[in-house]
Amino acid sequence: MAELERVGFAGLGAMGSGIARRLLEAGYDVVGWNRTRERAEPLVAVGIRWAETPRELAESVDVLFTMLTDTAAVEATASGPDGVLAGLREGAVWADISTISPETSVALAERVRATGASFLDCPVSGSPATLAAGQMSVMVGGDRAAFDRIEDILRAIGPKVTYIGPNGQAILTKIAINLALVVSVTAFAEGVALIEKAGVDRAAAVDAVLKSVIASPVLGYRAPLLVDDTDVFADVELQQKDLVLAEELARQLGAAVPTCAATSEMLSAARSSKTAGRDFVVSVHEAYLRIGGME
């Protein structure tokens, strides 16, 4: 590996902190920023340096990663006198891992190019469990030379790295993947709730699914939550955000996404669930039970 780049990371939530830790363990000099510093204290304790603002973060690194909640959060972090755009240095690479509006991502790439830096939409697919197992996948859209420059850093995040094409194409791919993910997990919850009403034991149903032809990596770590609700990979509001992005894209393109629309309706019902703060598979399953009179 060539001389290690100085790496910045903004957005140190559950997934972001895990990725930042992997970069630190890979030997990178990592500088971090988060809206609330308390979330970052465990990382500071193990060697991540702290930046007071997104601008200070951008000024101090060669490669910047952002992993933020939604489009509005990315815009807020990018803009203003203390934003990333005010601090980006010429020649730097900004890789946004967030799942945001493709239009916003492409427009942000143009604003970054005006500073002399490069922007990559760089979403990941997986969960903290996938990350910990070293199985995270990374998709990349943007300038190929910028991708080539940071490919080693991306492989420190996860071994499955795919260059998709120009700016915006990786985030489009991530939206399609998340559409399929949420639909499949919701269908799983629907099937379990259906046979529970017929008297099948929930734990037995989950075990059978995980041994069946519909077993998948995402069901592998999410299905057990219906039996042992001990983790939250993404709550119902966060996952519905991805379906809304897919529905907006479909309207723009004149494409049909009927299963996306139906699933989004179930997630709307699940947002009023008493388990709405848990992982979305738990919330959706509870909504199916409630609708079926089994609450």
Q: pLDDT tens across 72-102, in order? A: 999 999 999 999 999 999 999 999 999 999 9
Name the residues annotated as catalytic: 174
Contacting residues for 99 by C-beta, under 8 A, at least 6 apart: 70, 123, 171, 174, 175, 178, 241, 242, 245
Task: Output 153 or 40, whichever has higher pLDDT.
Answer: 153
Name residue 165's beta-bridge partners.
141
Alpha helices in the chain (DSSP H): 14-25, 41-45, 54-59, 71-78, 84-87, 102-113, 128-132, 144-157, 169-197, 202-210, 217-222, 236-253, 258-270, 280-291
* Confidence at residue 274, expressed as pLDDT on a 0 to 100 scale: 87
Asked whether the predicted pLDDT for residue 20 surpasses 80, the reply is yes
Please say whether the beta carbons of 157 and 136 come within 8 A: yes
The dihedrals phi and psi of 4, each to the nearest 5 degrees, come to: -70, 135
**Model confidence at 111: pLDDT above 90:** yes
Q: Which of 229, 246, 245 is nearest to 284 (CA)?
A: 229
Q: Is the pLDDT of residue 286 over 60?
A: yes
* Band (1; pLDDT cuts 50, 70, 90): very low
CB-based contact 120:140 (threshold 8 Å): yes
Q: How many residues does the chain have?
A: 295
Task: State residue 3's pLDDT score.
Answer: 59
CB 67 within 8 A of CB 13: yes
Reported as a pLDDT band with limits 50, 70 and 90, residue 16 is: very high
24-68 pLDDT, tens digit each: 999 999 999 999 898 889 999 999 999 999 999 999 999 999 999
240 contacts 264 by C-beta, under 8 angstroms: yes
Q: How sure is the predictor about 13, in pLDDT bands with cuts at 50, 70 and 90?
A: confident
Pick the CATH number of 172-291 from 3.30.70.360, 3.30.465.10, 3.20.20.60, 1.10.1040.10: 1.10.1040.10
Q: What pLDDT is recorded for position 143?
A: 96
Distance CA 198, CA 62 (A): 58
pLDDT of res. 2 = 46
Each residue of 228-280: pLDDT tens digit? 999 999 999 999 999 999 999 999 999 999 999 999 999 999 998 888 899 99
What is the share, in percent, of the chain residues with pLDDT greater than 70? 98
**Residue 138 DSSP class:** E
Domains in the chain: boundaries:
6-166, 172-291
Q: In this structure, are residues 218 and 185 in contact, taking their beta carbons and an 8 Å threshold?
A: yes
Average of pLDDT values for 173-187? 97
**Cβ contact 244:258 at 8 Å:** no
Per-position DSSP letters for 35-79, written without gaps between them: SSGGGGHHHHHTT-EE-SSHHHHHHT-SEEEE--SSHHHHHHHHS
Residue 295 has pLDDT above 80, yes or no: no
3-class SS at 260? helix
Say if CB 136 and CB 158 are below 8 A apart: yes
Strand partners, 233: none
Q: Mean pLDDT of all residues in the chain?
A: 94
Q: Which CATH superfamily is domain 6-166 in?
A: NAD(P)-binding Rossmann-like Domain (3.40.50.720)
